[in-house]
Structure 1
């Protein structure tokens, strides 16, 4: 088994960590069902343990996955027409209790079931009475689950080199949004250099990060939505007020998909980071936890872009 390190996916941002896990999930699902993922404690870069011997080999496999997807399919291995195509109103954001009615007597395929369990839940409703959505998503304007997945896919299909860039060295592309996972994609007119405020995301990393989503589960914690990796963080000194915080660990030992999911969902990450909990993290092989929260723009309905806090 070879070990391939991805130098561009240093585990200091949610986008990089999710992209590494998304890459791992695709290689595990389509190339090597014994692949593992770990992180190098020295530089916090992810290491893929698999039959693939180089970054170029990994990039070629990823490019083959996207180029072989049929035109009407937007999730690898999924059926045509899922998620239901079109802009908002999102056809997956149905009134609570109606989600599975749309499938009638047909049992969704395993691929669809994994994506559904990740993207939406019927266990808790949003303010409009619809089933709540994943905390990894922050739709705005006409964005839907379908457009969120399709637009980055079309970019990497039109330019597979974006996938290699995601692994070895990021290049920002004007007009790419980053799907609210990348606060550095938000360039104002002064930063742009042309006096034009325009998003500059990383297409390959964004698509790969989205490909981690089926590993996660969106459910309920009391009356609040809860997605794998997300926690309630007290606001200031008032324990009665809290805000969602994403916590993604980096681990030393090569792990499979189920173990990665279990680690991300472990209750120790709910803690307040005292000395005892730090010891627990070390025992579990976790050497760093990337923490991030949403930054909501004034006047916007979107939950906001993810910003790293540690």
Structure 2
């Protein structure tokens, strides 16, 4: 029998909420071996989980088991504890490898460990089909390393926080967000940053949602990574005329979809955004009824003062407008 569980805190119009809902679905399917599907409420945009689990408590318990199954010194499910490779001392992040060395290093890692899940993670984290200005292989745009941040710490920091109280923090991620001082949000949550005037302590302090951040990082195996030879290309990310930064855009759908259907929908060519002469970000809703889509949202990385990174993922408005002149338009945006 299939049940529907509403995940009250996971608003699909928000980039962190959307990625976290994908992470929940993927972990329950791939790690907990449950037949689950995902949709969104047309009124609230909250994530709806469909499957054998009857309550939020049951969802939390299944996700806590996934956390507990990760090796004590590891950061990802079912992969060697040393992956992603850790930084040693003051050396650069070993995952930021020269482009011409990716093939040999990946071959060495996969031959040494022979873990099927390792191949899946490698394919979505780093690609030699694009490079940065230093000639290093490009990372997925879902990461935005700054300072000493490494690819491993992108996963390790939120997981370390969740491990302090797995049931509590995962429940909060699904039902009602509580912000934790010192949780960085891994540049997936623009509300992490607060000025001294905004924070009760009178100091500028990062305050993220550990459980939601961890769940969002667990969505990456669903999000393909490749490149044009120069620029990285990833699921939901688009290089648009008039915009220096790539734009992340995604649909919300009403019908329950399994992981394979979700991956197909997220890549659908009729859901790609475009721009007009004013550089507004537009998406044509003509295909929405047939695809079961009822709205769309978008985000870009906004630079943060004093931080050298590609920026923090921040919701922006997206306009639903037909490519046909004279057709009506509607404006949609993240929370």
Q: For the residues of structure 2 that align with 1:140 and 1:242, how far apart are their CA atoms?
A: 19
Q: For the residues of structure 2 that align with 1:135 and 1:94, how far apart are their CA atoms?
A: 16
User: CA-atom RMSD, angstroms?
Assistant: 1.9
1:135-284 alignment to 2 at 5 Å?
135-160=141-166, 161-221=168-228, 223-235=230-242, 242-272=244-274, 277-284=284-291
Deviations 1:146-179, CA, capped at 9 Å, x for gaps: 1111111111111111000000000000000100
The structural deviation recorded for 1:196 is 0.5
Q: For the residues of structure 1 that align with 2:57 and 2:81, how far apart are their CA atoms?
A: 30
1:47-62 alignment to 2 at 5 Å?
47-62=48-63
Tell me if the contact between 1:234 and 1:243 (Cα under 8 Å) persists in the aligned partners: no
Deviations 1:242-297, CA, capped at 9 Å, x for gaps: 43100121111111112111111222222338999311122211111110001013
Q: Give the corresponding residue for 1:9.
A: 10
Matched, 1:129 2:130: no
Q: For the residues of structure 2 that align with 1:233 and 1:175, how far apart are their CA atoms?
A: 34
Matched, 1:115 2:126: no
1:88-103 alignment to 2 at 5 Å?
89-102=92-105, 103=107
The structural deviation recorded for 1:298 is 4.4
Tell me if the contact between 1:32 and 1:51 (Cα under 8 Å) persists in the aligned partners: no
Q: For the residues of structure 2 that align with 1:67 and 1:299, how far apart are their CA atoms?
A: 36
The structural deviation recorded for 1:234 is 2.7
Q: Give the corresponding residue for 1:238.
A: none
Q: Give the corresponding residue for 2:323.
A: none
TM-score between both structures, scaled by the size of structure 1? 0.93
The farther-off stretch of 258-267 and 15-24 is: 258-267
The structural deviation recorded for 1:118 is 1.0
Number of aligned positions between the proteins: 305
Q: For the residues of structure 1 that align with 2:86 and 2:20, how far apart are their CA atoms?
A: 24
Tell me if the contact between 1:9 and 1:20 (Cα under 8 Å) persists in the aligned partners: yes
Q: For the residues of structure 2 that align with 1:15 and 1:189, how far apart are their CA atoms?
A: 24
Check 1:127–1:35 CA distance in 2 against 1; reply closer, same or farther (3 A cut): same
